[in-house]
Amino acid sequence: MRIADCGLRIAEYEAPEGAWWVPRTWALLAGGSPLQPQIRNPLPAIMSFIVFEGPEGGGKTTQVRAAAAALRARGVPLAVTREPGGTAIGEQLRAVLLQTSASAMLPRAEALILFAARAQHVREVIAPSLARGEVVLCDRYVGATYAYQGYGRGLPLEELRAVQAFAAGAVAPALTILLDLPAELGLARRVAAGGVNRLDDAGLDFHRRVRDGYLALAAADPGGWVVIDATAAVAAVTGRVLAAVGAHLGLHLERKD
């Protein structure tokens, strides 16, 4: 496929001799033109982009930290980030999205704020990190948008996919780890931990739809998603996460406390 076919500015990263990562990684460079929604053959998912997804209370932040510690122990160049957020602008938009006083926010407004934060995030953090040959671990990405704003809020998935293409181009995760648990348990954990936000307050039915959406996304792409039971003990979940990340990258990863 020719670069011109994608409407993107792309760099082919050549790994140094002996480097652990995939020898030739295609990465979208910051400032590139957005991938147009009608293009049917975007670049392959970037092997070193790994996303953690799941309903509320699944322990994503804990597991991202565990994976990052294990990768750093192996000397893997790494970037750890999150959505919404990851940049100064993105963190400001995150605050708007999650504040409980914004209860009147419409679903479409919510989705567009998320995509605005993602456009900044991809070009400022994710794409440059991938171009440098780093593994990127991201706490939520587009799967969350499809689960929360698509399945949860009822926005059309085809419309969300079109805006995703405009906001992020071809930058897609090669591996998504879904930390799955029932909505009731996840919300109970969130309440016990404190700091409930606007999305936490969306109601049990909403969060059940979100979970169902995540499971549907994983079922539709079994090669790209790994579903892990997040009701298990934290250490057991971490073991399964490290096994999945290690298998994807061709590394043996051990838990680092």
The rounded Cα 153 to chain-centroid distance in angstroms is: 19
User: Residue 8: pLDDT above 80?
Assistant: no
Residue 18: what pLDDT? 36
The pTM (predicted TM-score) of the whole model is 0.82
Boundaries of every domain in the chain: 46-249
User: Residue 236: pLDDT above 80?
Assistant: yes
Q: How many Å apart are CA 250 and CA 27, to the nearest integer?
A: 20
Residue 40: what pLDDT? 26
Residue 193: what pLDDT? 83
What is residue 202's three-state secondary structure?
Answer: helix
Q: How many Å apart are CA 158 and CA 37, to the nearest integer?
A: 10
Residue 35: what pLDDT? 34
CATH number (3.30.420.10, 3.90.1330.10, 3.30.420.40, 3.40.50.300) of 46-249 reads 3.40.50.300
- Reported as a single tens digit per residue, the pLDDT across 84-121 is 999 999 999 999 998 878 789 999 999 999 999 999 99
Q: Residue 146: which residues within 8 A CB-CB, separation 6 or more? A: 157, 160, 161, 213, 217
Residue 29: what pLDDT? 35
User: Residue 26: pLDDT above 70?
Assistant: no
Residue 190: what pLDDT? 87
Residue 46: what pLDDT? 61
Residue 139: what pLDDT? 98
User: Residue 3: pLDDT above 60?
Assistant: no
Residue 2: what pLDDT? 26
Q: What is the dihedral of CA 92, 94, 99, 104, to 10 degrees?
A: 100
Whether the bond between 84 and the residue before it is cis, its omega within 30 degrees of 0, is yes
The rounded Cα 223 to chain-centroid distance in angstroms is: 16
| Average per-residue pLDDT for the chain | 84
- Reported as a single tens digit per residue, the pLDDT across 160-203 is 999 999 999 999 999 999 999 999 999 999 888 877 788 877 88
- Per the model's pLDDT, the better-predicted residue between 196 and 251 turns out to be 251
User: Residue 9: pLDDT above 80?
Assistant: no
On the 0-12 / 13-18 / 19+ scale of CB atoms within 10 A, 116 is middle
Sign of the CA dihedral running 61, 63, 67, 72? positive
Q: Are 163 and 115 in contact (CB under 8 A)?
A: yes
User: Residue 129: pLDDT above 90?
Assistant: yes
Residue 144: what pLDDT? 98
Beta strands in 158-243 (DSSP E): 173-180, 225-229
Q: Which of 68-72, 76-80, 195-199, 211-215 has the lowest mean pLDDT?
A: 195-199
